[in-house]
Structure 1
Amino acid sequence: MKSLPLLSFLAATPVAVAQAQTHDHHGMSAVKSSSPHASPAVAGLAPGTPAAAFHRQMDSVMTVMDRGMQQMGGVPPTNIDASFAAMMVPHHQGAVDMARLQLLYGQDPALRRLAQSIIAEQQVEIQQMNAWLRQHGAAAKPSSAPAQH
């Protein structure tokens, strides 16, 4: 059965992204519900529906990602290379978290495959950027480290 590896993958993510966003998995305080990314169209969705949950969680992911990019893991803004890597870590983690939401809520097989690919590729790139930051003495603070799911 093709969905078994996917189910195993999702089971390996502690209670999935839905609850991960309410915890401090990016090393930042919990995200408030008033996201600058909230779409006015989402306000019309019935509470408790999968679409409402998806959009609420997506807004949360975007807010956490933006905050991480702004904080840059404490890297001095004068170091352009380190700034790039430090901002890309939460940016890529945001992509991973968004892709996980697609796997939780999405139905389209092509988009689900794309989401799986995004997760795999972005996690490798997060590791590469964190390694670069460590090698150059600019290791990002834990607040911008990738979530451990």
Structure 2
Amino acid sequence: MTATRTLPATALLATGLAGAALAQSSHGDMGKMPMGGSAAMHDQMQKTMADMQPAPGDAPSTKDFKEADMAMMHTMSVPYTGDTDVDFRTHMIPHHKGAIDMAKVALKHAKDASTKQMAQKIIDDQEKEIADMQAWLKQHGK
């Protein structure tokens, strides 16, 4: 895709995902984003989302990481209910699924054994936490 073809989708995602991006504040430049829904925040979100688009010359692992990032950002766009217990779980589940997807990229592409070991631990831990959160939601009729 060209930048001009992806920009409208990027703008749409950026508008709807500011909260999700702030949850990822340790990821890239998002930790430097201004608070409060300002034009600068919107511009930074657009840049961040554009940076997640595949680019010519990206390493195969970078392409896979970018795909995982975009999928996570899309699935983290979950409506808030006003119930902290529910909102925490419904927003953490896609966040954890994103961590699993990124860990799978690491398993596929990493060369260092400790990276692969950490990735597998993340998958195991996050899958258990997702199952626990889903069970809680089901138990509470959500």
Q: TM-score range by the shorter chain?
A: 0.5 to 0.7
Q: Report the CA distance shift for 1:93/1:37 in structure 2 as closer, same or farther (over 3 A).
A: farther
- For structure 1, the 5+ residue unaligned runs are 1-34, 139-149
Alignment partner, residue 58 of structure 1:
65
Q: Secondary structure at the match of 1:71?
A: coil
List structure 1 segments (4+ residues) > 3 angstroms apart after TM superposition.
Answer: none
> How do 1:9-88 residues align onto structure 2 when only pairs under 5 Å count?
36=49, 38=51, 43=55, 46=57, 52-72=59-79, 76-88=80-92
Q: Report the CA distance shift for 1:37/1:108 in structure 2 as closer, same or farther (over 3 A).
A: farther
The CA distance in 1 between the partners of 2:122 and 2:84, in whole Å, is 26
Normalised TM-score (structure 1):
0.57
Q: Secondary structure at the match of 1:70?
A: coil
> 1:58 Cα shift?
1.0
The CA distance in 1 between the partners of 2:81 and 2:74, in whole Å, is 15
C-alpha offsets along residues 84-108 of structure 1, whole Å, 9 cap, x if unaligned?
1001001001001100100100001
Normalised TM-score (structure 2):
0.60
Identity in percent: 33
Q: Report the CA distance shift for 1:55/1:133 in structure 2 as closer, same or farther (over 3 A).
A: same
Structure 2 residue 126 is the aligned partner of structure 1 residue 122:
yes
The CA distance in 2 between the partners of 1:37 and 1:135, in whole Å, is 39
> 1:77 Cα shift?
2.5
User: Residues 93 and 122 of structure 1 are in contact (CA less than 8 Å); yes or no, is this contact kept in structure 2?
Assistant: yes
Q: Considering fraction of residues, name the structure with more helix.
A: 2
How large is the RMSD of aligned CA atoms in angstroms?
2.5
The CA distance in 2 between the partners of 1:133 and 1:37, in whole Å, is 34
The CA distance in 2 between the partners of 1:120 and 1:55, in whole Å, is 23
User: Residues 52 and 70 of structure 2 are in contact (CA less than 8 Å); yes or no, is this contact kept in structure 1?
Assistant: no
Query: How many residues align structurally?
Result: 96
Structure 2 residue 107 is the aligned partner of structure 1 residue 94:
no
The CA distance in 1 between the partners of 2:83 and 2:141, in whole Å, is 11
The CA distance in 2 between the partners of 1:96 and 1:120, in whole Å, is 9
The CA distance in 2 between the partners of 1:129 and 1:37, in whole Å, is 31
Q: Secondary structure at the match of 2:91?
A: helix
- For structure 2, the 5+ residue unaligned runs are 1-47
Report 1 or 2 for greater relative contact order, CA contacts < 8 Å, sequence distance ≥ 6: 1
